[in-house]
Structure 1
């Protein structure tokens, strides 16, 4: 705290403050200039955000075939057949008759109750329930996964004796192999595509496994330490068929501490494609295929069971509930069938929901979804007009040059509402007639107006041909309007031609679709504005864009000027302090002289 003016009686603090206020006028102007640069950066970046959104939405609307060539399908009886169409589907009509049966999945139930008069809980350990009294085996169950290394031999990392070799489960990338044991007899067993030979703690395959193949092995050993006790376990197998009629097998090992629910979970994760549940009312288990249709081309059972599934859960081919069946129907006079009730023909996905009676015929008509295409184009036009409105508003805003950014002293003298109104005018018109914006949006307008030339096989080469033109009001500065009737007519006439008008991928801008050209120009506009105001295209640091460099420069100037102001203020204080000291000495000399001239007494 400085105390001055004791000798002179002058308010030195106020005098220096007033002097410094005048000295600070240049730095206040620089801060106002800095504020204007920051406001312009914000305005540019706001426009860039809108451009970026528009850039993304162009791709997601008029450049997507699924939107611009969308199809719809009408059904004469949606209770029996429904359908949808892909964008590439042709406009066609289908007749479905003689739907005699729907596809159904194979399903098997226990041939007898598994409860045997006892209560069964699907969530409790099977070993604790009398209903699951079975020929449990004992041993320590190990599960390991080994990565193959271009070899036909995989060695198990265990020193304990492996027991119950016939219960081993070996899978390579999910494929189950039967295990045969080489016990030193002559001749030794030979592995084949479905068999692996176990010998001396190793598995020998019929050929080298591919590098990195997953070899999953479940095996049993005697207990080798108290922390690894024996378990009671049982085994079982399930077989189904793939879509080519090839058998798919899986083998399971279940321990007595597992529940029936856990059994169903393992089944559901298996490659055989089945799921199951336990019904408390009947005491039976049901297992069904996850896919509908007939897969066993030989006409036998769709699902076969062995071991635990057959002996304990009483599942076998005699327990089939109606069996698998394909959907059978006549399509445009051709008798055919499918494994599923939903299938695709010529881009039209049909779903059978019921069977026909008598000579009933269901007709499906696939045609262009004109409403969806119109809505897609409307969205593009609306977003373009909104963007144009916003930017034109910025470029035509009135500039109030008498309203400068407020200094700190001016801000302190105003209320918040007064500050808000002042800054609204101070910010107005910063981008008025901006050359960068005008150039980019002029290019965008040219992209929209110029025809699409080249190999476009369509009568539609410019927007006006499909009913999209600029408004007659010149004050709209290029906004678009739609003649919806003409647009609908064009879509119904040639939907693909309308799509190509927007999205054609030509080698030159003249051959490119309108939306593709506009999107390219928007990308260039984003880059140009980023070079000016940053915030996009990796332009983050001030030195990477023009306004950022200007901002850094003016901040440096302000910092330098602030240091000079500090020096000026120090000089003022030194001068006033020296004056005060001189006045004080003069006063002391006067007092001394007065005392000598007029001695007391």
Structure 2
């Protein structure tokens, strides 16, 4: 079939020929670039998946690496409107009778009311004493209530007083509030006038009004009275913090503290699930499908082999129990199969939680040697900023940059090749055109010779 054309002189499809020649060199190399980029992308994705699984695993470890999470207490009250309670692992299980007689209050006092809040008060100073500590604020002859309040609140040596201007039907009043509740934190004010009696008339003696009495909280625990300066009461019951919210001496409430075995079991089972998910992800990311002859993104990767080895070593080792003996996961009902997956014997775990909570603490939460702490430290080395995974991602970024540079250089090379071939073929086309022109001229002259018979 005749070629249709761009080559005027030769009749050849020069553009098509050049494209075929360039593609013969370009297509295989670009396919290699694409495969390399696909491999890099799949590794970056795999590393991201691995990091996510490791972070989820760390979340589960956090609930076991602290003894408080392994020795939890469940707190319940008969009426939470009067108080709430929190219990640490040192709290003993028990039932307590509690009455709240009164809540603690912060002391509030106010000066005399004035009609014009912007009018000067006087000149001198105001001295404050709270719980044995004192500070003094100067008052200028032009200072109004707002200025005095700002100077008190901004004083660098303020020992616990907040000043506020309150406007009511009676007029404008400068009010002082103690930062802390309780009778020990009552505010005492001493006005001193340099000229006149303005400060004394507003803040001195009977002119200072009590707006809210300083008051301690009073509670009864099993009919034993306890007075406290605040509404948060620590240590009245060992390991328990009470937060008082309402008071009625005629109402008795029950506080129940018991060991929260269900929460501990939930944390242990969450650890097992997170570990199995992590091992499953590692297996998937590093597998080889013999049937499809396809390798996963991290198949044969030294980093993932090292991670898996460290995980299995830590969970299979025994831990010093602090009494001369040792513990392993198997002792609390967690076994590991030949594929590295964990399973839980619920009865054995329940028995360990119920009868010897200290065993779980020693196994998981012992500083430096506890399984949860060791696993967390090892995993942190992978996921932290600048850790193993960050370093690996940086290497992939460098590979991608090198590939981009190679692509750009190859594209330039192919452009130069195309330009060179076009130039050579166009030169050839010009020569062919000239030869054709000369041939046609020669034929015309021959045909014009005498004796030539034209057919």
Using structure 2 for the length normalisation, give the TM-score: 0.76
What's the offset of the Cα at 1:361? 6.0
Task: Write the distance in 1 (CA, Å) between the matches of 2:218 and 2:133.
Answer: 24
How far did 1:10 drift? 0.9
1:536 aligns with 2:390: yes
> How many angstroms apart in 2 are the aligned matches of 1:483 and 1:241?
60
Q: Rate the CA distance shift 1:397–1:596 in 2: closer, same or farther, 3 A.
A: same
The more displaced of 344-353 and 281-290 is 281-290
Consecutive unaligned residues in structure 1, runs of 5 or more = 128-133, 137-233, 403-426, 507-511
SS at match of 1:350: strand
Q: 46, 49, 74: which one pairs with 2:48?
A: 46
Q: Could you tell me which of 352, 375, 382 is aligned with 1:490?
A: 352
Aligned to 2:329: 463
Contact 2:96 2:255 in 1 (8 A): yes
Give 1:60 deviation, angstroms.
3.7
Q: 1:442 to 1:576 in 2, by over 3 A?
A: same
Q: Deviations over 1:462-492 (max 9, x none)?
A: 233334345x7x8xx4443445565454334
Residue 274 of structure 1 is aligned with which of 135, 153, 161?
161
- Identify the match of residue 294 of structure 1 among 183, 202, 206: 183
Residue 453 (structure 2) aligns with = none
CA distance in 1, matches of 2:126, 2:285: 74
Structure-2 residue corresponding to 1:90 = 91
- Residues 14-413 of structure 1 correspond to what in structure 2 (within 5 A)? 14-51=16-53, 53-54=55-56, 56-57=58-59, 60-76=62-78, 78-87=80-89, 89-93=90-94, 95=96, 100-109=101-110, 114-115=113-114, 120=115, 122=117, 125-127=118-120, 136=122, 234-242=123-131, 246-254=132-140, 256=142, 258=144, 260-269=145-154, 271-275=158-162, 276-278=164-166, 280-283=168-171, 285=173, 286-295=175-184, 302-307=187-192, 308=198, 310-312=200-202, 316=206, 319-320=209-210, 323-331=213-221, 335-345=225-235, 346-352=238-244, 353-357=246-250, 362-396=253-287, 398=289
Structure 1 contact 97–356 (Cα < 8 Å) conserved? no
SS at match of 1:325: coil
1:577 aligns to 2:404 (yes or no): no
The number of residues matched between the two structures is 433
Matched residue, 1:505: 367
CA contact (8 A) 2:99 2:253 kept: no
Query: Structure 1 residues 488, 592: CA separation in 2 closer, same or farther (over 3 Å shift)?
Result: same
Which whole-Å deviations, capped at 9, do the CAs of 1:412-468 have from their partners, x for residues lacking one? xxxxxxxxxxxxxxx98334565542442243133223332x243598822333343
Q: 2: CA distance between counterparts of 1:239 and 1:336?
A: 29
- Looking at structure 2, the residues matched to 457 and 73 of structure 1 have their Cα atoms a distance apart, in angstroms, of 31
Q: What is the distance in 2 between the residues matched to 1:550 and 1:12?
A: 38
Q: Is the CA contact 2:93–2:257 (under 8 Å) kept in the aligned structure 1?
A: yes
Q: What TM-score do you get using the length of structure 1 for normalisation? A: 0.60
In structure 2, relative to structure 1, the CA distance for the partners of 1:484 and 1:251 (3 Å cut) is: farther
Q: Summarize the Cα distance change of 1:372–1:269 in structure 2 as closer, same or farther, 3 Å threshold.
A: farther
Are the aligned partners of 1:268 and 1:274 in contact in 2 as well (CA < 8 Å)? Answer: yes
Say whether the 8 Å CA contact 1:398–1:428 is kept in structure 2: yes
Distance in 2 separating the partners of 1:253 and 1:7: 105
State the 1:586 CA deviation. 2.6
Instruction: Report the alpha carbon displacement of residue 42 of structure 1 after superposing the two structures with TM.
Output: 1.7
Match status 1:443 vs 2:443: no
Is 1:596 paired with 2:445?
Answer: yes
Distance 1:556 1:293 in 2: 73
Q: Which residue of 2 aligns with 1:184?
A: none
CA deviation digits over 1:6-49, x for unaligned, max 9?
A: 12111111111112222224413431342233223323431343
**Greater helix proportion:** 2
For the 8 Å contact 1:293–1:338, the answer to whether it is kept is yes
Structure 2 runs not aligned, ≥5 long: 193-197, 451-455
Q: Distance in 2 between matches of 1:597 and 1:305?
A: 136
User: Per the alignment, in what secondary structure is the counterpart of residue 84 of structure 2?
Assistant: strand
After superposition, what is the alpha-carbon deviation per residue over 1:267-321, rounded to whole angstroms, capped at 9, x for unaligned?
Answer: 445524234553513447454423222228xxxx752342455412566487445
CA deviation map 1:233-278 (0-9, x unaligned) = x334142232xxx2423224155463x3454444445524234553
The answer to whether the 8 Å contact 1:108/1:317 transfers is no
Q: Do the aligned partners of residues 388 and 563 (structure 1) sit closer, same or farther apart at CA in structure 2, a change above 3 Å counting?
A: same
RMSD: 4.1
Work out whether residues 363 and 370 of structure 2, in 8 Å CA contact, stay in contact via their aligned partners in 1: yes
